[in-house]
Structure 1
Amino acid sequence: MKMEVHIVSREVIKPSSPEVQLKKPYKLSLFDQLTPTTYSTVIFFYRMHDVNSDDITRAKIDRYKKSLSETLNIFYHLSGRVKGNLFIDSFNEGVPYIEAQVNCRLSDFLKHNEIESLNRFLPRQPFTKEAMEAPPLALQFNVFTCGGLAIAGAASHKIVDGATSKALFSTWASISRGDGDDIKQPDFEQASLFFPPRDSIPQSHLSLMETLWFTEGNYITRRFVFNAKAIATFKAMAIAGKPGVKTSRIQALTCFIWKSFIAASRAALDSPKPSILVEAVDLRSRTKPPMSYDSTGNAFWWATAFVNPMGTKTQLPELVETLNAATALYETDYTQTLQGEDGFETMSEYCNQLEELFSLEKPDIFAFTCWSYLGFTETNFGWGEPFWVALMGKVGPAFRNLTVLIETRDGRGIEAWITLDEKRMAILERDPEFLAFASPNPRIVLAGIAVTILSSTRILTWDSLSKCQEFIGFQSLLYELELHVYRPGISAKSAAIDQKDESLPKASSRASSLRIPLSKNPTNPIFFCSKSYPTAPLNPAIVNPFFSAQPSLQKTYLLQPNNLPKIIPQPRSKSTSAPSLHKSSVIERARGVMAVGGGELRQWVDKRMKDSYPVEVAERMLLLGFETWT
């Protein structure tokens, strides 16, 4: 089935307070002036937590729009327009807002997960040259037929960097869910005071910046996921045999990817060009005195690392040393030379050096930026945190090689969104060394979360539980259970406690429940927890918000977000007569239960199994759930 996104409405959202019009113009900083106008994008995907209805969806949209209008009272400069590359005013111009309907379920989209199709959710084309007067912010609210949501934002890099995006979305989400704790009060003046704008910027500098950002070509964006074990391996390789060398996991991963780019360039070109890595460095904590982290605008610049692709310093340890030296420059007095009225001279020297390099031979430029500190995976507008954060589909026809790093939902892995020219990307996607650590666009699994409390008898559907008052606390229960990881085994009492897996998240001291992932793919977990083993009790403070109101439900639940009819759990029969039993497998029983929408799952317990399913059976049950739902 071809996915289609139909535009339902277009409008402009403006600040709700008329006092915004009295604000003085927002001054650009020197870095704002040098940065081209182009949109960076982000898409937040939310699963359906409620019974799908037009009324509930409409309520979410109304809350979203109202909170946006209130947020623009704070971030009013995003509602204005840039004038003459000097300042922003006309704050009543507003933010373009689009509502769209997607003609499929969210699960259908995730089955295919075609990166290029992500652009259909976006209000603007990502990383394309735009007019300077383009709106600083644009938004699109996409609704799937199941009630799932894809909320997309496009922010102009002319005035919005990573820290500004973090403050914006954190504040907006906080207002939307009625929580004032995360509302930021941005500082609109610091950036222009530390890095004063110029009345006019030399055209040569502006042309150079456009060259750094844009070059004609056929660029392709792909998503690769690196797990915690792979990243730890890169870090160990980077410092092996170098006792005095330190590096971060992000720097190690960045240099591994850079190393793969260099290899692709050697394979693609008869005569490889010099290779330059430019990495975005936030200057807020590096200025003297340090700037506020809530200061707005582009308070970053590029650390520049250079290597000869045909030289000897293209192995991971050498690349890490080269990049560390480039970023360390901003820890010195060099950052201070960028500040104040004299900062323009330092910036001019930087531009002149790059122009000289480009005049000799056009190098390969690979830009990197890290979004793993922005907290996008925690953006909660009032209907839970996103289960996936995506960036973009295909960039414009004129761009550059760019890699954006963002954390996976568990916070341990990294998704690398890599944009390369077509020829290099084709080589990278066949590179065995790269693919030994990188998972190309692994499937995002929305549902099939099975939460099992041993001694189980019932299967309930997601649809039925969403109608229960106790469902409110279920999401926090899942979050807590995810923190407690042990190896599965027939005897959960012993094997689960004794055999830890270092590749999985560490257990937390906040509770002592037992979580056993029964799928090799960490995005397809099945949760087993026990209330009977004294070595792994469920913490009542965590469980009670969901289970306390209905003790009869303290059994087993296989939760599936499907449209099966509502089930009213019935208490177990107190009859003392022997039940009528026949030999059948758990899988057959589960299939029959799902077919009718709920009922008894287990009618007897084999004590030799210590009331625990074998791993293979549990995995098959989970797959059955996936098949039933999809």
Structure 2
Amino acid sequence: MARLEIKSRKMLKPSASTSDNLRILKLSLFDQLAPRSYVAILFNYLPSSTSSYDKLEKSLAETLTKFYPFAGRFGEDDDQLSIHCNDEGVEYVQTKVNADDLPEYLGQANNIESSLLDLILPVMVHMPSSPLLGVQVNVFNNGGIAIGIKVAHTIADAFTIATFVNEWAHTCLTGTMTQDNNNNLPSFGQLSSLFPARVLQLPSLPNSTDPKFVTRRFVFDALAIENLRKTIKDDSTTDDDMIKQPSRVVVVMSLIWKVLTDISSAKNGNSRNSYLGFSINLRGKLSCVPSLEHALGNYVTMAYANLEVDEARKDQLNDFVKVVGDTIRDACVAIGKASSVDDISSLTLNNQTKIIDKLLQGDKIDAYGTSSWCKLPWYEADFGWGKPFWVSPVGFNANEGAFLMDTKDGNGIQATVCLKEKDMTKFEKHLDILSSTPIVG
């Protein structure tokens, strides 16, 4: 078993104080609806002749001047609807891992679920007084480096996290922060000014009493995805390219949903209504508001696909691809037709309410969640020792569902799947999974 030694731990502050006019950041409606939890992700780097982590701390402090809310704290007297950007700092930990080989360590971590991966992540507890960002830099005996990051979901979606990490890497590599003469620098505050948080009366989800959840990683390479596409029959009655030529994300998302419904049918002795919720990035999709393609914070809306019990239902991959494709298309059409910010707010709240309603039905239906982090520049983060050889989300052992990310070559998809232990055993052995994922972790 590898041993981890903490070399230093500090509260790292931005290199320059946040200006007075930016001291309070009000949350947006989208921030308000985000889970009150941390998003955890690992960036793993092989050793190189330039491997050095001496510049990481200084460049992070400089980057925090642009991402100043990360160094703040929740306000305690306003129901956590704002961030006090008071420069209290972020949790910054440096460790030495007594293991020779980073890839071997990660292989062991996969084999024993996520306990070893959790060791190389910062320990964070979601409380009003807690840091909103934690970073842990782990150096292995051979010079390999794993950077573990946890960010409060309330202030960051996947786009925001990817933007932050790449800005930090750029600053570390070049010694300067990104400059943009077109004033398109990512910024906070735009969303809350257009979509302010409000008093909500959404139903609360009960605490889970289910058996232990486990997480596994499944890699669908380009060939596997293409082979799956070939099994999808061409529906000549539609001209929709999303159905005729489904994207990698739609194919993999649909296959995972299909396998989960197969498992449910076998377990319950019959088919049940099944729902798949997923997030849609709103950046660049709204015509009713100024361009917000670089807005930081949370800027997604939820949608869900449903497949109801029907005597004619065959539960073929086609069925799931069509339902997922139709749902994404209809959601994007509705977003594009929105004529005001109020329309978008209402759409977002209605979708959120419907998804919560499905989850509250418990064992009467099957409800799963997915999130795609594809097409984001995760593998561009070069701190000076090359690009990461593997990037992965970590620590989602709480709900049934999957996170999808690009593989390093950009052509495949890594699916991080979280299920109840017994269901995971069946998922791993399902023929559709065995035939499509030569790599299982």
Matches of 1:368 and 1:353, distance apart in 2: 16
Aligned to 1:68: 60
SS in 1 for 2:5: strand
Task: Determine the structure 2 residue equivalent to 1:283.
Answer: 282
CA-CA distance at 1:374 after TM superposition: 1.5
Write 1 or 2 for the structure with the bigger share of strand.
Answer: 2
Q: Within 5 A, what are the aligned runs for 1:132-531?
A: 132-178=128-174, 182=178, 185-198=185-198, 200-202=199-201, 204-205=202-203, 207-208=204-205, 216-242=210-236, 244-246=239-241, 247-270=246-269, 273-288=272-287, 289=289, 291-308=291-308, 312=313, 314-334=315-335, 337=338, 340-341=341-342, 343-354=344-355, 357=358, 362-392=364-394, 394-396=395-397, 399-441=398-440
TM-aligned CA deviation for residue 62 of structure 1 = 2.7
Residues 20 and 14 (structure 1 numbering): CA distance in 2 closer, same or farther, change over 3 Å? farther
- C-alpha distance in structure 1 between counterparts of 2:327 and 2:209, whole Å: 24
Contact 2:22 2:85 in 1 (8 A): no
The DSSP-based 3-state class of the residue aligned with 1:367 is: strand
Aligned mates of 1:240, 1:169 — CA distance in 2: 41
Task: Give the aligned residue type for 1:36.
Answer: P
TM-score (norm 1): 0.62
| Rounded Cα–Cα distance in structure 2 between residues aligned with 1:259 and 1:431 | 11
Deviation at 1:240, TM superposition (A): 2.4
Residues 504-527 of structure 1, C-alpha deviations (whole Å, 9 max, x = no match): xxxxxxxxxxxxxxxxxxxxxxxx
Which structure would you say has the larger RCO, counting Cα contacts within 8 Å and 6 or more residues apart?
Answer: 2
Deviation at residue 132 of structure 1 after TM alignment: 4.6
| Deviation string, structure 1 residues 68-115 (Cα, Å, up to 9, x no partner) | 000000000111112223111143111001111111112542553534
Using the size of structure 2 for normalisation, the TM-score is 0.87
Match of 1:97 in 2: 92
Instruction: Give the drift of 1:346.
Output: 4.1
Amino acid at match of 1:249: R
Q: What amino acid does structure 2 have at the position aligned with 1:153?
A: I
SS of equivalent to 1:196: coil
Identity over the aligned pairs, expressed in percent?
A: 29
| 2:70 maps to which of 78, 81, 94 | 78
Distance 2:7 2:334 in 1: 53
User: In structure 2, how many angstroms separate the alpha carbons of the residues matched to 1:263 and 1:112?
Assistant: 30
Distance 1:228 1:355 in 2: 35
Stretch of structure 1 that moved more, 229-238 or 103-112: 103-112
**Structure 2 counterpart SS, 1:385:** coil
Secondary structure at the aligned position of 1:332 is classed as: helix
Aligned to 1:106: 101
Structure 1: runs of 5+ lacking an equivalent: 51-55, 443-630
2-side partners of 1:340 and 1:286: how far apart?
Answer: 12
Query: Which residue does the alignment assign to 1:490?
Result: none
Maintained 8 Å contact 2:63/2:177: no
Over residues 459-488 of structure 1, what are the superposed CA-to-partner deviations in whole Å (9 max), with x where a residue is unaligned?
xxxxxxxxxxxxxxxxxxxxxxxxxxxxxx
3-state DSSP class of the match of 2:36?
coil
Partners of 1:113 and 1:358 in 2: CA distance: 31
Give the match's secondary structure for 2:57. helix
**Which piece of structure 1 moves more, 147-156 or 357-366?**
357-366
Q: Matches of 1:234 and 1:195 in 2, distance apart?
A: 40
Partner secondary structure for residue 155 of structure 2: coil
The 2-side partners of 1:355 and 1:413 are apart by 31
What is the deviation of 1:159? 1.3
Query: Do the aligned partners of 1:265 and 1:272 also contact (CA within 8 Å) in 2?
Result: yes
Structure 1 residue 179: deviation in Å?
A: 6.3
Change (3 A) 1:183 1:149: farther
Secondary structure of 2:232's match? Answer: helix
**Judging changes above 3 Å, is the alpha-carbon distance between structure 1 residues 62 and 231 closer, same or farther for their aligned structure 2 residues?**
same
Distance in 1 between residues matched to 2:325 and 2:350, nearest whole Å:
22
- Matched residue of 2:341: which SS? coil
Q: 1:356 to 1:155 in 2, by over 3 A?
A: closer
Instruction: Supply the distance in 2 between the matched residues of 1:61 and 1:283 (Cα, whole angstroms).
Output: 36
CA distance in 2, matches of 1:148, 1:357: 44
Instruction: Say how many residue pairs are matched.
Output: 422
| CA drift at 1:309 | 5.8
Contact 2:18 2:85 in 1 (8 A): no
Once residues 250 and 345 of structure 1 are traced to their aligned partners in structure 2, the CA distance between those partners, rounded to angstroms, is 27
Larger radius of gyration: 1
The alpha-carbon distance between structure 1 residues 137 and 310, as it changes in their structure 2 partners (threshold 3 A), is: farther
**Residue 26 of structure 2 corresponds to residue 24 of structure 1:** no
Q: Is the 2:73–2:132 Cα contact (8 Å) retained in structure 1?
A: yes
Q: CA deviation at 1:156?
A: 1.4
Q: Which residue of 1 aligns with 2:7?
A: 8
CA RMSD of aligned residues (A): 2.7
- Report how far residue 20 of structure 1 moved: 4.1
